[in-house]
Chains A and B, each alone.
Chain A
């Protein structure tokens, strides 16, 4: 079973801090300086209060599986060869739920509530794709 050949993320100026964080092995989230709300995906302004006072911070990288599916059929190249693979939402300790893959264990070993920790692909031009593995 091959690993997923992840399409390279495209970073623009709003999302670059997130993807560069992944390149360093960190999950970077945003917090609003005006209302303190944490948000993901990254935006140029706070979606709750529309303030432009946005700061980035490094999250713990720890979380648990919120839901998942073992994908047995995906006809797209790069994914086809990796079936079966686990697509999941991981709920971070800081709140946001990230769409991601769970790797590093048999697909049928994954369960909802399972503790996981971020695990990054090898960086490519300073960007990397975050997946999660059992903690």
Chain B
């Protein structure tokens, strides 16, 4: 029996908070677990697989989390490959469920990145070990690593700042339809270009916001999900990949999404033309642009033209991040879990004013790490029931 079509996302929950100085990361995870289990009609006692990653959890964080929730699952996965981790957790959960190693997988994230004033984009002198010493002397910031990609993309393909800005404008327009989004006032291309440059060519409004937040996903077999509370969202294909500096000469414009999506599409039997809605990690405008190319929605170098004219907006040919994404809705340090949650809710048809009408096929792609230095990618293809 193939994995494709036999695993389901049964429950999801996005914590409504964007600012939670009075909560711990674990509390946000616990409240999110309650939300996702209520969503599908299961209880905490049904959970026998636990998956989590976080920025402040430490190397044994998933063990601490199990104690916090007084869980003794038979399957544990603390994989941390950056912001894409939770997309990868869905892959891992699918494999474990398919192999009979657990029945009900709970994937959790919670973070107070904003209220703890975590310097995510533009702070930190970097580590001092032998590996970090090839990076930390030079003042690499998270924004800077993506700016290196943007500059190269502009050089090779003539991509313009206005095209990157249109991505930010589209995400903000989507966020204006999402009551939970942090930034809901609409912006223009000129607003983006006039915002201060953080790391050339990326402006402040090319960068994701920093918020608090969290979420939860319940994954189980398609068979078990049939009797649960909400319509099933079926996993059709999945893949993971990593890109790094290799032995010294990385191609910055070929990213992990290329490899992970090729596997996911192959497994699913679906093509890019079948996708009705996409949830794609938008840490920066360039992230989304170069990911669209590597996912095969357009050819390398055509991303700038692809995002113009409302194509990735609601009502366009490929609506991306109807919730407003990391650029406008929420970005508590790591964002992959929200990609899965939004895609699942879109395929269940419950998104109100930001619903993509009749969405049947959804693509999720998470990027983790720093695009220009070392990063991971994870792709899912999902269908409604």
Residues of A within 8 A of B (CB): 4, 6-12, 14-15, 19, 37-41, 47-48, 66-79, 82, 85, 87-89, 91, 95-101, 112, 129
State the CA gap A39–B244 with chains docked (Å).
Answer: 14
User: Number of contacts between A and B (CB, 8 Å)?
Assistant: 133
The 7 nearest A-B residue pairs measured at CB: A96-B248, A69-B147, A40-B248, A39-B247, A67-B152, A9-B133, A70-B200
In the complex, which residues of chain B have a beta carbon less than 8 angstroms from the beta carbon of A41? 131, 134, 245, 248
The reply to whether B139 and A66 contact each other, CB–CB distance below 8 Å, is no
Q: Given contacts A95-B248, A97-B249, A112-B155, is CB(A71)–CB(B130) below 8 Å? A: no
Residues of B within 8 A of A (CB): 119, 122-126, 128-141, 143-144, 147-152, 155, 196-202, 245, 247-250, 252, 372-373
The reply to whether B119 and A75 contact each other, CB–CB distance below 8 Å, is yes
The reply to whether B139 and A112 contact each other, CB–CB distance below 8 Å, is no
Q: Which secondary structure characterizes the binding site on chain B?
A: loop
Q: Which of A41, A77, A101, A112 has the most C-beta atoms of chain B within 10 angstroms of its own C-beta?
A: A41
Q: Given contacts A76-B124, A96-B247, is CB(A70)–CB(B137) below 8 Å? A: no
CB < 8 Å neighbour of B130 from A14, A39, A82, A112: A14
In the complex, which residues of chain A have a beta carbon less than 8 angstroms from the beta carbon of B245? 41, 97, 99
B152's nearest neighbour on chain A, judged by CB, is: A67
In the complex, which residues of chain A have a beta carbon less than 8 angstroms from the beta carbon of B129? 10
The reply to whether B133 and A79 contact each other, CB–CB distance below 8 Å, is no
Q: List 27 A-B contacts (CB under 8 A).
A: A12-B130, A14-B130, A15-B130, A15-B133, A41-B134, A47-B247, A66-B152, A68-B151, A70-B199, A70-B200, A72-B196, A72-B200, A73-B122, A73-B143, A73-B198, A75-B119, A76-B125, A77-B125, A85-B139, A87-B147, A87-B148, A88-B148, A95-B249, A97-B248, A100-B138, A101-B139, A112-B151
B150's nearest neighbour on chain A, judged by CB, is: A69
Q: Which of A19, A66, A85 has the most C-beta atoms of chain B within 10 angstroms of its own C-beta?
A: A66
Given contacts A71-B141, A74-B144, 14 further A-B contacts (CB under 8 A): A7-B137, A12-B130, A14-B130, A15-B130, A39-B247, A39-B248, A41-B245, A71-B199, A75-B119, A76-B124, A78-B125, A79-B139, A95-B248, A97-B248
Q: Which secondary structure characterizes the binding site on chain A?
A: loop
Query: Shortest Cβ distance from B58 into chain A, in angstroms?
Result: 22
Query: Shortest Cβ distance from B168 into chain A, in angstroms?
Result: 17
The reply to whether A10 and B197 contact each other, CB–CB distance below 8 Å, is no
Query: Shortest Cβ distance from B158 into chain A, in angstroms?
Result: 13
Q: Which of A74, A76, A88, A91 has the most C-beta atoms of chain B within 10 angstroms of its own C-beta?
A: A74
The reply to whether A71 and B144 contact each other, CB–CB distance below 8 Å, is yes
In the complex, which residues of chain A have a beta carbon less than 8 angstroms from the beta carbon of B248? 38-41, 95-98
The reply to whether A97 and B250 contact each other, CB–CB distance below 8 Å, is yes
State the CA gap A12–B130 with chains docked (Å).
Answer: 6
